[in-house]
């Protein structure tokens, strides 16, 4: 893997910083619940198909009283895409060399009244350079006020940046996080964006604010709902919903495919799967 340039270094440093901020906040929630749970961090290395070192990452997983399972991964990888896969990646059709760095987070919660959540932000460089990512809320038992608050926070992040368009990104999320074979949405949406390949500073500033918006909104919702009483019926609804979540991530999710196609760490790629789920 080639040495990082200033833009690649800035993106990598931010994603690692965001990881640390999020993990610290999630551990703080566990302490408030009387739990001593913490993240286990496992570093992994990647070998490029060329045989050269291809970067790597760190997988962080916590299983606690509030967070039944939460994974927060960061990775920085590079090398060459293999075969036809290069043609599916923005800017890699003519030259398969690539660089990618990012953060990926999925939280599955113990209490059915606390929404699960996904957040991902990334920076890729091929013959083009761009940011992508987003965040979406996935409650087994939706609460309208929580959904509205989550979306309002993301809207403010978008409205602060000319490169962002909340309405377009929210629509994109609704279309992307959809399970065609079930004809249902994966959750209550959020934002999804990709191929922001204009000015680096503008796109980077927006991507940073997506992470900050997530950190502002989601822990507040968790603290509001984590002590709510729930019934066996509520838990059964959560486990059935988790089955739908697993189906989406295994069949349709681009990040899962990208990780598998580029030789990523299998445990890190599949950390999004829930610890328990049920199918009828």
Strands of the sheet with 189-196, listed across from one edge: 40-47, 53-62, 67-80, 97-109, 116-125, 129-138, 189-196
Given a contact cutoff of 8 angstroms between Cβ atoms, the answer to whether 164 and 210 are in contact is no
Residue 126 tokens, joined: 């091929």
Instruction: Give catalytic status of residue 161 as yes or no.
Output: no
Catalytic residue among 108, 113, 118, 151: 118
| Residues near 267 by beta carbon (within 8 Å), at least 6 away in sequence | 42, 44, 59
Burial class (CB in 10 A: 0-12, 13-18, 19+), 233: exposed
> End-to-end CA distance of the chain, in Å?
46
Residues 207, 134: Cα–Cα separation, whole Å? 9
Q: Burial code of 30-66, b = ≥16 C-beta within 10 A, e = fewer? A: beebebebebeeeebebebeeeeebbbbbbbbbbbbb
Residues 274, 115: Cα–Cα separation, whole Å? 13
| Residues near 73 by beta carbon (within 8 Å), at least 6 away in sequence | 57, 58, 59, 60, 103, 104, 105, 268, 271
Distances (CA, A) of 45 to 32, 249, 251, 254: 35, 23, 26, 21
By annotation, the residues acting in catalysis are: 118
């Amino acid at each position: 893997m080639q040495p990082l340039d200033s833009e690649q270094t800035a993106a990598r440093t931010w994603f690692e910083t965001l990881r640390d901020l999020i993990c610290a906040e999630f551990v703080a929630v566990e302490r408030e619940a009387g739990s001593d749970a913490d993240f286990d961090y496992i570093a992994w290395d990647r070998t490029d198909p060329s045989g050269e070192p291809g970067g790597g990452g760190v997988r962080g997983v916590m299983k606690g009283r509030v967070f039944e399972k939460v994974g927060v991964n960061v990775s920085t990888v590079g090398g060459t895409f293999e075969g036809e896969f290069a043609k599916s990646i923005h800017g890699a059709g003519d030259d398969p060399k690539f660089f990618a760095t990012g953060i990926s987070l999925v939280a599955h919660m113990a209490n059915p009244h606390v929404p699960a959540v996904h957040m991902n932000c990334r920076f890729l460089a091929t013959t083009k350079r761009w940011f992508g990512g987003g965040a979406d809320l996935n409650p087994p038992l939706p609460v309208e006020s929580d959904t509205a608050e989550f979306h309002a926070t993301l809207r403010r992040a978008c409205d602060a940046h000319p490169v962002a368009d909340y309405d377009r990104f929210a629509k994109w999320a609704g279309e992307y996080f959809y399970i065609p074979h079930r004809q249902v949405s994966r959750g209550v949406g959020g934002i999804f964006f990709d191929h922001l390949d204009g000015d680096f500073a503008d796109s980077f500033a927006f991507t940073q604010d997506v992470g900050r918006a997530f950190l502002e909104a989601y822990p507040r919702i968790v603290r509001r709902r984590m002590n709510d009483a729930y019934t066996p019926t509520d838990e059964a609804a959560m486990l059935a919903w988790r089955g739908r979540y697993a189906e989406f991530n295994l069949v349709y999710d681009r990040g899962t495919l990208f990780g598998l196609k580029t030789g990523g760490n299998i445990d890190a790629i599949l950390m999004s799967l829930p610890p328990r789920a049920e199918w009828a």
